[in-house]
């Protein structure tokens, strides 16, 4: 089991007059951890729900390992989408919810599920609705991990978890992923917490893919150039500037693309400071309607 | 750069699982197995029946729980009614026994399928089942429930009521239809009740509250067709508690065989309706609260 | 953590080289597994694996199948040699060029170096 590959071709979904997805074309390689980022309403959950066969696109094609997953018994069994709330049966007891997912998932690891639920003192005899929001998220994240689905999607599954709990789940995710490689898609607003976990980053904005790259490339390609505003302007004139911030006479410009070594030398000679733009910054710049070029 | 410090593995805190000990435990466990014959491969493979088979088992288990609870409640209520009727000196009319069997049992089947299949479609798909598997489990579950309940209701009607009435010294005034006719009618009623549960649940998942408007179609019509059949079989006769006059007229126009055909058609349409709603049922994500 | 402009796997490789040079990691010591590294620093296991692959290619680490990664015999010397070369080429050469441009004499430079190297020895 090394995971499913994900392909979408010109996928669109409309809810009434609103376009949730608008011509999304995407390729995600199997066996890696992919990040899907976007602001609220960008279409992340809609895109993931297509991969999970919750619904079909109005137009375009979705394929997992080259096949349409909708109503494909094997692909649907091998695909799991977990969100913090909204999909699990709120009125069922935790142990009954676990039993259902054990029934549905061929690779479900009962020991892993028990281990995680015990660790966070989740009562099995209580109904999901009677747990706190953080506990509900723990249940969802646990089922998502323990299902060991070759395509595992965790959509804002951390909601309501406190920081130590999120940390433990990230560690559990990484440990289990190392032992049982599979395709994982993580969606989260806490970008700085998952930044180094991701191998690729895809950013959705208003139903479109604005960026889909290797995380390593993104790190080295995103550069902040800081210094006197006029010098920054001249130096970045021919580069892809995705955002500017001014602090008095000092300007910080975030540019995409790997700067040429000669350019770096020249920039440093002019007293400009170069730094790695955190993913969070790139994300904000790319999804800000005000600043986007 | 903050350098990660000391990437050395301390002797005491090893990795969580030690593959060597793991293997030795497993290899040692099958007692008397010939050396060299490993059971590991089969032990590692998850037990995988087809998904729809697993879901059907899950659904049947769910319905067993619901049915047991409901039957327990109904049995108490029914016993109380019988005792009250006998102490008040009221005759156990055919109408009462009719409601105790023909009219309540299918509703138990209906409820069980609504709870265990109809409204769970989202959760079953979420757990990795296809809509086809959910439909198969719903229809197979309906079949099992229909047969079991029909046999139970017939036995209750034929044996149970008589025994209870005799033990209480009450006279049962009813015209008995042949047992096979009663069983046949009960089978149709219970099957339809169960399948209606799938249809009603699915239509609520599909259209939300608006599905209430569809209830006359999704449960009213099929149920009416079965009720006509059941009455024409069990109550074809005279006496108090017989069918109301307008229904008698309907039955006069539609004797048993056409009525049975009609009820089969109603059952078929209900099954088709459930499949039409389920096969491409979109389950768009609900907003995170 | 990992704020440099380089890819994270290069930063990890560099950190491990540093630990070997300072003696925190001795030759023959076992290095954390990919999984342990990934969970400890909450990074992708593939990133850690890439860093280890880089160091194996440089013969700084050796892989023992089924056991794990170990610091190679002679790793410290190899690292020192590489660093010395880089030190003269990448660090000292520009300094010398700049000194020449500023008119600083060889005598001034060596005097400065003697003073500071003596201070370093005293510590």
Q: Give residue-wise pLDDT tens across range A118-131.
A: 999 999 999 999 99
Which residues of chain C are within 8 Å of residue B4 when distances are taken between CB atoms? 1, 12, 15, 37, 40-41
What pLDDT does residue A131 have?
93
In a domain, C2, yes or no: no
Question: What spatial distance separates the first Cα and last Cα of chain B, rounded to whole Å?
Answer: 40
User: Contact C7/A220, CB-based, under 8 Å?
Assistant: yes
Same domain, yes or no: C66 and C84 = no
Which structural domain, as residue segments, surrounds residue C82? 76-122
A97–chain B nearest CA distance, Å? 9
| Percentage of chain B modeled with pLDDT above 90 | 25
Which residues of chain A are within 8 Å of residue C4 when distances are taken between CB atoms? 276
- Stretches where chain C sits below pLDDT 70 are 1, 3-5, 123
A15–chain C nearest CA distance, Å? 36
Tell whether C32 is within 8 A of chain B (Cβ): yes
* Domain CATH for C32: 1.10.10.10
Q: Which residue has the higher pLDDT, A260 or B121?
A: B121
Which residues of chain B are within 8 Å of residue C30 when distances are taken between CB atoms? 8-9
CA B132 to chain centre: 17
Mean pLDDT over residues A105-112, rounded? Answer: 94
Which residues of chain B are within 8 Å of residue C40 when distances are taken between CB atoms? 4
Which residues of chain C are within 8 Å of residue A198 when distances are taken between CB atoms? 44
Question: Which of C39, C41, C49, C54 to mutate: most A Cβ within 10 Å?
Answer: C39
Tell whether B5 is within 8 A of chain C (Cβ): yes
Classify burial at A244, counting beta carbons within 10 Å of its beta carbon; exposed 0-12, middle 13-18, buried 19 or more.
Answer: middle
User: Contact C30/B15, CB-based, under 8 Å?
Assistant: no
Mean pLDDT over residues B24-35, rounded? Answer: 36
Same domain, yes or no: C68 and C86 = no
Mean pLDDT of chain B: 72
CB atoms within 10 A of CB B250: 15
Of the residues C33, C49, C73, the one at which a domain ends: C73
Mean pLDDT over residues B154-180, rounded? Answer: 67
User: Contact A219/C7, CB-based, under 8 Å?
Assistant: yes
Nearest residue in chain B measured CA to CA from C28: B8
Tell whether C35 is within 8 A of chain A (Cβ): yes
Q: How far, in Å, are A4, A25, A149, A250, B130 from residue A72 at the CA level?
A: 14, 22, 15, 57, 7
* DSSP category for residue A190: -
Label residue B31 by pLDDT band (50, 70, 90).
very low
Mean pLDDT over residues A90-103, rounded? Answer: 93
Mean pLDDT over residues B145-156, rounded? Answer: 86
Classify burial at A79, counting beta carbons within 10 Å of its beta carbon; exposed 0-12, middle 13-18, buried 19 or more.
Answer: buried
Euclidean distance between CA atoms A203 and A37, whole angstroms = 5
Question: Which of B1, B2, B4, B8 to mutate: most C Cβ within 10 Å?
Answer: B4
User: Contact C42/A167, CB-based, under 8 Å?
Assistant: yes
Q: Which residue has the higher pLDDT, B286 or B137?
A: B137
What pLDDT does residue B45 have?
45
Same domain, yes or no: C69 and C86 = no
pLDDT at residue A107 greater than cutoff 60: yes
What pLDDT does residue B21 have?
35
What pLDDT does residue A270 have?
87
What pLDDT does residue A99 have?
95
Q: pLDDT for B39-50, tens place per residue?
A: 333 334 455 789
In a domain, C58, yes or no: yes
Tell whether B10 is within 8 A of chain C (Cβ): no
Nearest beta carbon to residue A105 from set B50, B128, B280: B128
Closest by CA position to A263, among listed A245, A283, A288, A236:
A236
Same domain, yes or no: C33 and C22 = yes
Euclidean distance between CA atoms C102 and A130, whole angstroms = 75
pLDDT at residue A98 greater than cutoff 60: yes
Buried/exposed code over B43-76 (b: 16+ C-beta within 10 A; e: otherwise): eeeeeeeebbebbbebbbebbeebbeebbeeeee
The number of folded domains in chain C is: 2
Q: pLDDT for A150-172, tens place per residue?
A: 999 999 998 889 999 999 999 99
CB-CB contact of A210 with A204 (8 Å): yes
What pLDDT does residue B18 have?
37
In a domain, C50, yes or no: yes
CB-CB contact of B127 with B283 (8 Å): no
What pLDDT does residue A147 have?
96
What pLDDT does residue B240 have?
43
Q: pLDDT for A187-198, tens place per residue?
A: 998 888 898 899
C4–chain B nearest CA distance, Å? 6
Same domain, yes or no: C69 and C84 = no
In a domain, C32, yes or no: yes
In a domain, C95, yes or no: yes
CB-CB contact of A147 with A81 (8 Å): no
Q: List Cβ neighbours of A120 (8 Å cut-off, separation of 6 or more).
A: A135, A138, A165
A166–chain C nearest CA distance, Å? 11
Q: Give the chains touching C; criterion: ≥3 Cβ pairs < 8 Å.
A: A, B
Nearest beta carbon to residue B3 from set C15, C40, C68: C15
What pLDDT does residue B11 have?
39
Same domain, yes or no: C64 and C81 = no
Same domain, yes or no: C113 and C86 = yes
pLDDT at residue B164 greater than cutoff 50: yes
In a domain, C44, yes or no: yes
User: Contact A104/B55, CB-based, under 8 Å?
Assistant: yes
In a domain, C28, yes or no: yes
Q: pLDDT for B62-112, tens place per residue?
A: 999 888 888 888 778 777 877 777 677 665 555 565 566 666 778 888 889
Which residues of chain B are within 8 Å of residue A89 when distances are taken between CB atoms? 120, 123
Same domain, yes or no: C37 and C81 = no
CB-CB contact of B54 with A104 (8 Å): yes
What pLDDT does residue B41 have?
39
Which residues of chain B are within 8 Å of residue C25 when distances are taken between CB atoms? 6-8
Euclidean distance between CA atoms A182 and A144, whole angstroms = 12
Tell whether C4 is within 8 A of chain A (Cβ): yes
Tell whether B4 is within 8 A of chain C (Cβ): yes
User: Contact C41/A196, CB-based, under 8 Å?
Assistant: yes
User: Contact C34/A174, CB-based, under 8 Å?
Assistant: no
Phi and psi for B129 in degrees, rounded to 5?
A: -90, 150
Same domain, yes or no: C85 and C65 = no
Same domain, yes or no: C20 and C43 = yes
Label residue B121 by pLDDT band (50, 70, 90).
very high
Q: How many residues does chain B have?
A: 289
Q: pLDDT for A248-257, tens place per residue?
A: 889 988 887 7
Strand partners, A80: A152
What pLDDT does residue B97 have?
59
Q: Which residue has the higher pLDDT, A117 or A41?
A: A117
In a domain, C1, yes or no: no
What pLDDT does residue A288 have?
81
Same domain, yes or no: C13 and C63 = yes
Same domain, yes or no: C112 and C94 = yes
User: Contact B2/C1, CB-based, under 8 Å?
Assistant: yes
Question: Which of C1, C15, C43, C44 to mutate: most A Cβ within 10 Å?
Answer: C44
User: Contact A174/C45, CB-based, under 8 Å?
Assistant: yes
């Amino acid at each position: 089991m090394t995971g499913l590959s994900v392909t979408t071709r010109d996928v669109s979904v409309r809810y009434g007059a609103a376009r949730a997805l608008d011509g999304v074309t995407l390729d995600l390689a199997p066996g890696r951890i992919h990040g899907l980022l976007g602001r609220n309403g960008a279409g992340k959950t809609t895109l993931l729900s297509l991969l999970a066969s919750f619904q079909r696109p109005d137009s375009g094609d979705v394929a997992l390992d080259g096949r349409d997953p909708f109503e494909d018994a094997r692909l649907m069994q091998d695909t799991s989408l977990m969100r913090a709330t909204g999909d699990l049966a709120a009125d069922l007891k935790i142990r009954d919810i676990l039993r259902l997912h054990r029934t549905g998932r061929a690779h479900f690891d009962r020991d892993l599920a028990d281990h995680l639920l015990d660790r966070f003192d989740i009562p099995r005899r209580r109904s999901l609705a009677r747990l706190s929001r953080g506990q509900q998220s723990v249940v969802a994240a646990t089922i998502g991990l323990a299902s060991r689905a070759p395509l595992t999607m965790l959509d804002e599954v951390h909601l309501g978890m406190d920081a130590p709990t999120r940390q433990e789940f990230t560690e559990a995710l990484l440990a289990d992923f190392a032992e049982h490689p599979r395709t994982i898609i993580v969606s989260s607003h806490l970008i700085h917490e998952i930044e180094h976990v991701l191998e690729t980053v895809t950013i959705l904005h208003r139903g479109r893919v604005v960026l889909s790259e290797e995380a390593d490339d993104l790190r080295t390609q995103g550069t902040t150039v800081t210094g006197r505003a006029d010098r920054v302007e001249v130096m970045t004139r021919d580069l892809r500037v995705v955002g500017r911030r001014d602090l008095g006479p000092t300007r910080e410009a975030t540019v995409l693309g790997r700067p040429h070594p000669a350019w770096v030398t020249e920039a440093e000679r002019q007293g400009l400071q170069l730094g790695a733009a955190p993913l969070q910054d790139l994300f904000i710049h790319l999804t800000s309607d005000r600043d986007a070029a | 750069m903050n350098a990660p410090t000391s990437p050395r593995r301390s002797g005491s805190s090893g990795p969580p699982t030690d593959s060597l000990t793991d293997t030795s435990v497993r290899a040692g466990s099958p007692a008397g197995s010939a050396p060299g014959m490993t059971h590991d491969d089969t032990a590692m493979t998850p037990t995988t029946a087809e998904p729809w088979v697993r879901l059907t088992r899950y659904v049947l288990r769910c319905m067993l729980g619901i049915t047991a609870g409901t039957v327990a409640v109904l049995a108490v209520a029914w016993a109380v009614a019988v005792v009250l009727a006998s102490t008040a000196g009221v005759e156990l009319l055919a109408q009462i026994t009719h409601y105790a069997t023909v009219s309540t049992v299918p509703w138990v089947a209906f409820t069980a399928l609504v709870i265990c299949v109809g409204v769970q479609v989202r959760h079953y798909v979420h757990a990795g089942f296809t809509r086809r598997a959910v439909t198969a489990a719903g229809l197979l579950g309906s079949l099992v429930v229909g047969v079991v309940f029909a046999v139970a209701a017939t036995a209750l009607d034929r044996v149970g009521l008589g025994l209870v009435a005799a033990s209480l010294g009450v006279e049962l005034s009813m015209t008995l239809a042949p047992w096979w006719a009663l069983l046949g009618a009960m089978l149709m009623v219970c099957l339809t009740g169960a399948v209606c549960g799938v249809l009603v649940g699915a239509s609520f998942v599909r259209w939300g509250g608006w599905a209430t408007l569809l209830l006359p179609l999704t449960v009213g019509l099929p149920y009416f067709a079965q009720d006509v059949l059941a009455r024409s079989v069990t109550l074809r006769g005279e006496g108090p508690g017989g069918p109301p006059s307008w229904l008698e007229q309907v039955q006069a126009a539609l004797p048993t065989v056409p009525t049975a055909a009609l009820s089969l058609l109603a059952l078929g349409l209900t099954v088709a309706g459930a499949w039409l709603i389920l096969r491409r049922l979109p389950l768009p994500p609900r907003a995170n609260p | 953590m990992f704020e440099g402009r380089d890819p994270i796997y290069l930063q990890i490789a560099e950190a491990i080289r540093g630990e070997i040079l300072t003696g925190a990691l001795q030759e023959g010591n076992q290095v954390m597994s990919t999984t342990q590294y990934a969970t400890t620093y909450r990074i992708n296991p593939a990133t850690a694996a890439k860093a280890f692959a880089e160091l194996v290619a440089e013969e700084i680490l050796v892989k023992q199948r089924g056991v794990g990664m170990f610091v190679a015999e002679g790793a410290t010397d190899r690292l020192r040699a590489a660093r010395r070369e880089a030190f003269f080429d990448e660090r000292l050469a520009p300094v010398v060029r700049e000194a020449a441009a500023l008119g600083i004499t060889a005598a001034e430079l060596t005097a400065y170096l003697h003073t500071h190297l003596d201070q370093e020895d005293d510590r």
